[in-house]
Structure 1
Amino acid sequence: MRALLIVLFVAVLAGTLLSLGMAEDPGYIRISIGSWLIETNFWVGMSLVVLAALALHWLLGLVRGLRLSPGAMGQWWRNSGRRRAQRRTTQGLLELAEGNWGRARKLLEQGAGNAETPLINYLSAAEAAHQQGDQEEADRFLRLAWESTAGSDLAVGLTQARLQLNAGRNEQALATLLRLRRNSPNHPHVMRQLANVYRNLEDWQALSELLPELRRQAALDESSLTVLEQEVWLNVLDQAAERLERQPPEQRNLDHLDRVWDQLPPPRRNDESVVHHYANHLARLGAESRAESLLRKVLRHSWSDLLINLYGRIQGPREDEQLLAAEGWLKERPNNPELLLALGRISLRNRLWGKAREYLETSLGVRHSQETAAELCRLYAHLGRYEDSVRLLRQGVLEHHGLPRLPMPEPRRRSGAPAR
């Protein structure tokens, strides 16, 4: 407070003396510079000098405060560039998230030069170009991303493979992923992407060889891996069978199909869908006895309605033994409609017409099935029970097509000449 009072006192005293001096004698200042002539009174000139001194003092203080050496000026300029790059990058990522591909691509590329992480800019710009359908530009941005950051091979390669997959360029994606796998053989995401490529290319054999590695590295959760494993082995079995079917029957050798079966992991050998495929292929390729033996073995330990249906369609080497085996299962499952259908068919093979009819009628009574009705309809026709056969046939046709209930005319009874 005392210092403030002193300053105020000095300022008032100086102002008073200055005003008295200006009133007494304003003085005169004349400055001539070349063709320029400046004239003013003494006090105005002194005021300008004081103001100029103050401005110079402020400017020197600013220079000292900023320490504006050439290096500091460069640092200031670089920081300014980074801030602009950060703003463009942030805005570009927002535009990318909103689906504004063109603007996102432009902002991300502009911000890449001074960005702290140009890899993010170029990878995101590649995504924007890909979304625009410009694959050449996407590849260019990926190349810039790889050049911008050391050690980015894996990140750039995975992004490239993903964009290639999305664009349907499966062969190129495969080449990219195989290169990445050579450098990172145990990387889970590389293996997941590689599995997707093999699946798109329907290269089931290669995918079957990748499955153990996918399981070992936990690249997929157990449920997804089980579904994929089942799909792979079903297709491997189908491809092996298709190759054999294209060969003349006398030249067929089932060794290749058997080798595929031997390669199956133990859980898949108990998978009803896989067992059904293998047994069905054996039967179609002329090895019904082997198919019947396999199904009997599996059904003895693990029941499956899908497999018992196939068992009833296959002719074993001994029809009587096949019937005895199926009737043994009936003791534990007396009302299983699929087992009763299979027993009806096996009874037909044993020429036990009455027993076959009873099994089929019982199956149809437990569950109405188009397949069982068709089998019984055929048997009725061969037994001479045409009305029952026609009834089942008509009932099956009406139910199959889901016709609505509508009034119908009564059939006319005619006497005399048959109707034309």
Structure 2
Amino acid sequence: MKKLLILLLILLFAGAWVGQLMIQDSGYTLIAYNNVTIEMSLWVFLIAMFAVFFLFHWALNLLRGSLRSGQRFRLWSQGRNQRIANTKSLKGLIALSEGKWWQAQRLLTQAGDKSELPLISYLAAARAAHEQGEDADCDELLNKARDAAPQAEIAVGISQAQILLSRGQYEPCLATLLDLNKKAPKNTYVMKLLREVYIQLNDWSALSKLIPELRKHNAVKPAKLLKTEQRCYSNILEKSISQLPAHADNEEKAKALGTAWHNMPGQLSSDDVLARHYTNLLVSIGAEEKAEAAIRDLLKRNWDDSLIALYGRIQGSDAKKQLEFAKSFLNDYPMNADLLLTLGRLSLRNQHWGKAVDYFEQSLEEESRPETLSELARLLQHMGETERTLKLIENNFSLIGNGLPQLPMPEKAVAITKPEPIISDDHIHAKPRFKPIS
């Protein structure tokens, strides 16, 4: 209040002073331009100049205010559209998480470029279109995502690769991933997708080259990576045989298989899973001597029931040494049914008929198996012990009769005269033909 009063007093004194000056001398002002002259007092000229200045200032403020109003309207309109787009994006993402694909695609597509994050909207809309099987719409939305955010090429490419992979379009998916791998060689997710595509394409050679990169960048957990290696090199071993010409003999197959085995990374040569597979392949092509040596090395490292069972089925270079090697495990596994069955078979190869019977009987006592029953019954039959064979079958009939339907049977057993044992190498279904193996 005091400041206002002081200001009014100053203006009053200033006005009185200026008024006194105007009375004393009005002054003279002349403005001439070509043939036009304008005459006025100095004070009128000054008042006119102030009036023009204030008029110009007012007009300028008016223009500036109108421009600001238009800008405010545009900002308000843009903000409103963005809020609407953000709301649609949120609703679309919720619909996507709930599996409402059509609704999600519609809302996210409408949001589009008007949302704060158009890339996310378009990628999510592409996924919704993919879930509906709308491949054309999906591809179009992916292109819009790429155009909306060129700097996010890797992200869009990964989404496209995922969609192609789920469609089963492995070749274009592989092309996309290889391009991404060149642009982002350290991207572990691209490596994971490449691993999956190579498996689907059965491209084991390419997968074997990718595995060191997976290990280097810790792209896959060690346990999963080990399984990948085992699967990869197991198929490489099989392929080394299958890709040979149809007329290739067993010797050529064994050579190709051996080359594939020795070309594997050093640490995998001691992998039990791969070694077992390699051994089984050797057996399948008739290279039993090599298989016997491989199984012997495996059993020295780690005991395995399936390996000792396989060891009794193959014929090594020296049947006596093979039997002695199997016997060396009796102290540690005296009641193992697989070991006893193998010892019985190896005893047959050495023509130790009595010992073979003992081993088969012990194995059958430890674990009743149709395979062991068949081996023992076949041996007893060829030893001429028919009654013992029939009694053996009668006592273990449940092994060969397992799975038979419940059918009516005679109340009294019918006496069997002139029995003809029917026993095969694997099951008791046909007359045996047995020759001692020397």
Q: TM-score range by the shorter chain?
A: 0.7 to 0.9
Distance across 1 between alignment mates of 2:159 and 2:387? 69
The answer to whether the aligner puts 1:397 opposite 2:400 as a matched pair is: yes
Shift of residue 244, structure 1, vs aligned partner: 4.3
Shift of residue 256, structure 1, vs aligned partner: 3.0
Shift of residue 394, structure 1, vs aligned partner: 3.6
Distance across 2 between alignment mates of 1:272 and 1:287? 19
SS in 1 for 2:334: coil
Pair 1:386–1:159, CA change in 2 (3 A): farther
Matches within 5 A, 1:374-389: 374-389=374-389
Cα deviations across residues 84-138 of structure 1 (Å, max 9, x unaligned)?
1101111111111222211211111110121111000110110111011011111
Shift of residue 148, structure 1, vs aligned partner: 0.5
Pair 1:407–1:253, CA change in 2 (3 A): closer
Comparing 185-194 and 366-375, the one that deviates more: 366-375
Distance across 1 between alignment mates of 2:171 and 2:404? 47
Query: What residue in structure 2 maps to residue 23 of structure 1?
Result: none
Pair 1:396–1:100, CA change in 2 (3 A): same
Matches within 5 A, 1:311-390: 311-390=311-390
Query: What residue in structure 2 maps to residue 72 of structure 1?
Result: 72
Pair 1:194–1:254, CA change in 2 (3 A): same
TM-score of the superposed pair, with normalisation by structure 2: 0.74
Shift of residue 180, structure 1, vs aligned partner: 0.8
Q: Which runs of 5+ in 2 are unaligned?
A: 1-62, 418-438
Q: Which runs of 5+ in 1 are unaligned?
A: 1-62, 416-420
Aligned sequence identity (%):
37
Comparing 156-165 and 251-260, the one that deviates more: 251-260
Query: What residue in structure 2 maps to residue 193 of structure 1?
Result: 193
Cα deviations across residues 193-219 of structure 1 (Å, max 9, x unaligned)?
111111111222222222221122111
Aligned length: 352
Shift of residue 250, structure 1, vs aligned partner: 6.8
RMSD: 2.6
Distance across 1 between alignment mates of 2:108 and 2:242? 52
Comparing 369-378 and 381-390, the one that deviates more: 381-390
Comparing 93-102 and 142-151, the one that deviates more: 93-102
Query: What residue in structure 2 maps to residue 249 of structure 1?
Result: 249
SS in 1 for 2:154: helix
Distance across 1 between alignment mates of 2:270 and 2:368? 29
SS in 1 for 2:165: helix
Query: What residue in structure 2 maps to residue 412 of structure 1?
Result: 414
Distance across 2 between alignment mates of 1:236 and 1:387? 52
Q: Name the aligned partner's letter for residue 345 of structure 2.
A: R
Distance across 1 between alignment mates of 2:375 and 2:253? 34
Query: What residue in structure 2 maps to residue 92 of structure 1?
Result: 92
Q: Name the aligned partner's letter for residue 204 of structure 2.
A: W
Pair 1:64–1:414, CA change in 2 (3 A): closer
Matches within 5 A, 1:216-231: 216-231=216-231
Distance across 2 between alignment mates of 1:373 and 1:267? 41
Contact 2:241 2:253 in 1 (8 A): no
Contact 1:195 1:207 in 2 (8 A): yes
Query: What residue in structure 2 maps to residue 283 of structure 1?
Result: 283
Cα deviations across residues 150-186 of structure 1 (Å, max 9, x unaligned)?
3211111111111111111111211111111111122
Distance across 2 between alignment mates of 1:150 and 1:375? 72
Distance across 2 between alignment mates of 1:98 and 1:174? 30
Q: Name the aligned partner's letter for residue 378 of structure 2.
A: R
Pair 1:412–1:324, CA change in 2 (3 A): closer
Distance across 2 between alignment mates of 1:352 and 1:130? 69
Query: What residue in structure 1 maps to residue 17 of structure 2?
Result: none
Pair 1:242–1:121, CA change in 2 (3 A): same
Contact 1:272 1:304 in 2 (8 A): no
Query: What residue in structure 2 maps to residue 32 of structure 1?
Result: none
